[in-house]
C-alpha cells in the first residue's frame, strides 16, 4: 500500500466520522443518488424504507434521484423484480432528476459511485460536506469503490447489486438506530 492510499483512506474515514458526528440524530432526510434513478438508488431507497418500518425513528424522509435521470421513468424491470424478491415494492417509483432544492433539503446524500460524488460536489459545493459514498457504510470489502450499475445486465447482476446495496443500507440503518437512541 502506498502512503498516498493510506492518507486518502484516513481522510475518507475522517470525513465519514466527521459528517456522521455532526449529523448525529439530526438526520431526518436522506437522499440516495445514482445515474438514472431507475436501478440502484430506488433499490436503496426502498430497502431503507422497509428497514425503518416499526422502528423508533420518527419522521424520517427517504428519497432518491439521478444525475442524468429522465423524470417519470419507471424503475427497470429487473430492479422491480429483485426488489419484489426482497419484499420491496418499486412499482410506483418514478425517476427524478437531482436538483439544487433536493440537495439543499437533504441532511445526508448517499451516492453510488465516486464520480457521482465528484460531479455533485463540483456542481453544488454547498452540499459537498453531506455527500458520502454509500459503500462507506460497508462492513466488508473496499469502502472506496462504487456500487456497479446493473442497468442492461442480467437478473443475476441486479441480485448482486442489491446484495452490495443491502450490506451498506443495513449498516446505515444500524447507525440511524444508534443515533436515535442517543
CATH number reported for the structural domain that contains residue 152 in this entry: 3.40.50.2300
- State the pLDDT at residue 8: 42
Domain of 58, in residue numbers: 3-181
**Max intra-chain CA distance, the chain:** 47
Indicate if the pLDDT at residue 130 is higher than 80.
yes
Whether residue 18 has pLDDT greater than 50 = yes
Mean pLDDT of 93-104: 97
* Residues annotated catalytic, as ranges: 34, 40, 149
* Whether pLDDT at 65 is above 50: yes
Q: How many domains does the chain have?
A: 1
Distance from C-alpha of 35 to C-alpha of 65, rounded to nearest angstrom: 8
Residue scoring higher pLDDT (168 or 11): 168
Q: Which three cell numbers stand for residue 134?
A: 454509500
Whether the pTM exceeds 0.75: the reply is yes
Amino acid at each position: 500500500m502506498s502512503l498516498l492510499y493510506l492518507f486518502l483512506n484516513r481522510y475518507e474515514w475522517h470525513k465519514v466520522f466527521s459528517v456522521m458526528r455532526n449529523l448525529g440524530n439530526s438526520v431526518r432526510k436522506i437522499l440516495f443518488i445514482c445515474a438514472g434513478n431507475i436501478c440502484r438508488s430506488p433499490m436503496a431507497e426502498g430497502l431503507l424504507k422497509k428497514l425503518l418500518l416499526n422502528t423508533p425513528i420518527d419522521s424520517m424522509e427517504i428519497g432518491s434521484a439521478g444525475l442524468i435521470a429522465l423524470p417519470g421513468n419507471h424503475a427497470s424491470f429487473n430492479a422491480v423484480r429483485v426488489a419484489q424478491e426482497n419484499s420491496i415494492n418499486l412499482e410506483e417509483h418514478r425517476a427524478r432528476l437531482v436538483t439544487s432544492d433536493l440537495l439543499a433539503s437533504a441532511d445526508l446524500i448517499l451516492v453510488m459511485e465516486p464520480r457521482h460524488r465528484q460531479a455533485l460536489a463540483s456542481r453544488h459545493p454547498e452540499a459537498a460536506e453531506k455527500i458520502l459514498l454509500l459503500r462507506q457504510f460497508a462492513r466488508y470489502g473496499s469502502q472506496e469503490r462504487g456500487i456497479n450499475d446493473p442497468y442492461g445486465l442480467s437478473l443475476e447482476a441486479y441480485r448482486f447489486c442489491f446484495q452490495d446495496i443491502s450490506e451498506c443500507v443495513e449498516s446505515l440503518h444500524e447507525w440511524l438506530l444508534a443515533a436515535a437512541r442517543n
